[in-house]
Structure 1
Amino acid sequence: MTEAIERRSFLKLSAALAAGAATSFACVEIASAAPIEVPTVDRLSMRVLIDSAHDQFLKPSTVQGVQHQPPGSGRGADYRQVLHNQWGLSLFLESQRADEGRTILLDFGYSPDALLNNIGILKVDPTKIDALIVSHGHHDHYGGLDGFLAKYRDALAPDLKLYAGGEDNFCHRVSPSSVQGQFTDFGQLDRRELTARQVATVLCETPTVVAGHAFTTGQIKRRSIERILPNTFVERAIKDGLGCDASHYSPAELQGKIIPDEHVHEHATCFNIRGKGLVVISSCGHVGIVNSVRQAQEVSGVEKVHAIVGGFHLGPAPKDYLQQVVAEVGKLKPDVVVPMHCSGLNFALEAQAQLPENVIVPTTGSRLIFSA
């Protein structure tokens, strides 16, 4: 999509939002469509603030040069406090280039209580955060955001920005219920709350540099054998100031029909480690982890893949399809593969079978260190 088209869509969206709510949404930006200059960093520390499990018996390890520091007991100073695990993901990313450091919070877990609890126990410093990124519009990735901002916004930079893949992040979503043809609410990211907290939203349908150290892939091309496995359904419309722009979607959607979620604006977050290559973080990878990595290679011009990290949404994958995808991951020749969240135990086992020297399985509280 060209920048001109993006700006037309943005103007339509602004008008719709103005009609739906009294709140001003001036804090929305459109990322430039110009090619990016991909930054290189010397070191990346990734702390897993939220994942689905915690294992206090994990041992320190180094796999293909990547250090895994396990979480230990997961208890706070008060032994009655312990790390909270939940269906969701949140990563605290600290990068270093020479003497310049940057900190990014990628996704926010399902609920603020888990995120705030784990920030305290793990003793990360949220006041250092330079930017926020949301990977896609699922509650288990943005659910903790408003509570995080309620506690820490005053201590963060006045010009703090949230980088979202595009309008699709703000759509209303529902989940299929046990009764055929019926759905349960799965919420929507409320940009009114972001405006109230004075957080500017940057819509990044195109690749975007974040905080001078990271970059996002922009909209991910679908070009591998991968397919989107069943997940949520999506409603693209503006209602009462909530929702997403439907001006360029299908007639069926404009009639108010919900459709299977294609995650058109899901994006991956990436770092280029000096001398090592790309670290590609796919928080859920609904559009395909291989697709995500290939997109990162294309937009960066960097072929070497150092690490493939995050949720890959292969938990529900049939065995034959899973084996195919893991084989395609192997063809990318990553130094390490680090499954989290929705990747599934089945993926971890298959990856360990096909790539026995290249897999790290962290849990909530783990720290991964990638360095030149």
Structure 2
Amino acid sequence: MYPLLFRLVLRRLDAERAHRLAFALIRLAAAVPVLRTLAAAVLAPRYRELRTEALGLRMHGPFGLAAGFDKNAHGVDGLALLGFDHVEIGTVTARPQPGNPAPRLFRLPADRALINRMGFNNEGSAAVAARLASRRPVFRVPVGVNIGKNKTTPESEATADYVTSAERLARHAAYLVVNVSSPNTPGLRDLQAAERLRPLLTAVRAAADRGAPGRRVPLLVKIAPDLADADIDAVADLALDLGLDGIIATNTTVAREGARGPRGHALASDPGLTAETGGLSGAPLADRSLAVLRRLYGRVGDRLTLVGVGGVETAEDAWQRILAGATLVQGYTGFIYRGPFFTRAVHKGLAARLRASPYTGLAEAVGAHAKNGA
């Protein structure tokens, strides 16, 4: 039914309006006790063999929702009833901001992809912290918080933005993510350079400790797929040196040349759409995201928690991320195109692949390709 609904209704709406409508329906389902119980029973069956421990957290499974869908923590329960094992909210900035002018979100259905240049539209870290503080969860899932800098903040003052948000949000976050990889905030990706990233991450670590006294909140950094291999290695080495907890690979890509559609062919969507500025996500990102993940695992092994995201559409995609070194996997664009049964299908397929594998559990499968020289 969802493909029919998408084709006949959602696809006819502007992409951002369709997102708001779908998200409102998800939140409504979570607000009605009988409906949410029935929906969770159908959409979020649990598989004992998929239970995962990562970042000091226990989760029903390894599959979560990437940042960007719920920027302000409005719908965590609704997303949990759909079966996501963790939900990453944000990106949240120190001050509220409207984001870039619309239109700023574009569908590429032929490629099962999106282009966005949203520009961190969000209500600001003070409002999001207050919402998380007052939340009374119906479904208990870890909520990660992804933080970034405001568009109007000069690069030289970016650290202050991250510090402000970390202090406000740390006590409410299962983990924190420093986003230095969105292509839609001027100068943000420049912060990925190791010499600039070191003082930023050091300051955020201290701010998180101040914001959540007595508890060490796991801290991760999210990187772009467009980094050169040497820069990926430098970030990996820096993360180890600073004692970070993990790396998320990857954010969206600004690349268009060389990007391949879901069947390995050149992008099939309207050239006018593919030429839109912004980050490309979905199936065309899968190969590069997986390659970055493999390189990271080859560099850090099991010393950091790696999170694989980018072009994850199916259980097989998620399984390949795990074999490549990801302890956790996230989806977003696949959810947009595949609908409310997305997580159910991924969980069912992952459980089947694990049972058919030589591994006794998911933890043993993490990085197995690298360990076995595959």
Q: What is the TM-score with the length of structure 2 in the denominator?
A: 0.32
Which of 1 and 2 has higher RCO (CA within 8 Å, sep 6+)?
1
Structure with the largest fraction of strand: 1
Q: Which has a greater percent of helix?
A: 2
